[in-house]
Amino acid sequence: MTDDATTAAGATGTLGYEQARDELIEVVRRLEAGGTTLEESLALWERGEELAKVCRHWLEGARARLDAALAGPADSPESDGTAADNG
């Protein structure tokens, strides 16, 4: 199982948000459906945790970009010095 976990962890780093989200949805569906062994359920849970971290990372990055974009236009006239000196 350590080889699978290592492979999964390596693959998780390259997933886009939509891929991670879709796989997470599938993991949750399989867990809710039941019928898996304890070992399979634990592996699914661990994979779900990894996928949730990937999604959270993408969302935090998107939030930071939005915050920067919203803050950018208000700061730009002052930062180049042209707006205040024309009076």
pLDDT tens, position by position, 27-39: 999 999 999 999 9
The CA-based angle 82-85-87, given to 5 degrees, is 120
* Predicted structure pTM score: 0.66
The pLDDT averaged over each successive group of 10 residues in the chain (87 residues) is 45 84 98 96 98 97 95 61 52
Output 39-42 pairs: Cβ under 8 A, ≥24 positions apart: 39/1
The token pair at 52 is 């949730």
